[in-house]
Amino acid sequence: MGSIVIERLQDSIEVKKSIIADEALINVIEELADEIVECIKRGGKLVLCGNGGSASDALHFAGEIVGRFQKERNPWPAVVLNADVATLTAIANDYGYDDAFARQAKAHLTDKDVFIGISTSGNSENVLRAVDAAKESGAKTAALLGKDGGKISRKVDYPVIVKCNTTARVQESHITIIHSICEIVENELK
């Protein structure tokens, strides 16, 4: 059993090494962090969503923004579309699950905001439709993605693509990226 633990840790290290070596990806992550800083300065908010483990990552990201990451500071606004179970299931029941995030995005987003979708496949239809709704609102758009980035990568302003086909390794990297973004934002805004 111990060999599985070591193998998975090594796999995770290798994926993170590939991110370090991808200068374009590092630049996109830093640009997204800068966009979030500007969003907060202009009185905007983050609006996030994902499915399954990515839904948990969206909640985690928002928790670091509204609560705190490492520094004592004022809270910043973040809304997680997968958090409101009543609204999510009502929309899914009335319109279908593919529209569960898009309808909420239309309700919450303005041109001051940043939308961040999370999809390890890059092809989650409900996240893709939320991106479209976010763009219609004038919000900046970003996505944390896996594999080749899928359809979502071609639609967002800031595609953060962890080029790996293993969902668990992508999610581990997404959390590291989320923490890095939160640290940059806190350092910039104090």
**Tens digits of per-residue pLDDT, 92-107?**
999 999 999 999 999 9
SS3 content of the chain, % helix, strand, coil (to 5): 60, 15, 25
Model confidence at 132, pLDDT cuts 50, 70, 90, reads: very high
For 60, the enclosing helix (H) or strand (E) is helix 53-66
Q: Which residue has tokens 């009185």?
A: 43
CATH of domain 2-189: 3.40.50.10490
Task: With beta carbons less than 8 A apart as the criterion, state whether 136 and 110 touch.
Answer: no
The angle at the Cα of 95, spanning 83 to 45, to the nearest 5 degrees, equals: 35
Q: What is the pTM of this model?
A: 0.96
Plot region of 149 (φ>0 → left; ψ -120 to 50 → alpha; else → beta): left
Is the pLDDT assigned to residue 169 strictly greater than 90?
yes
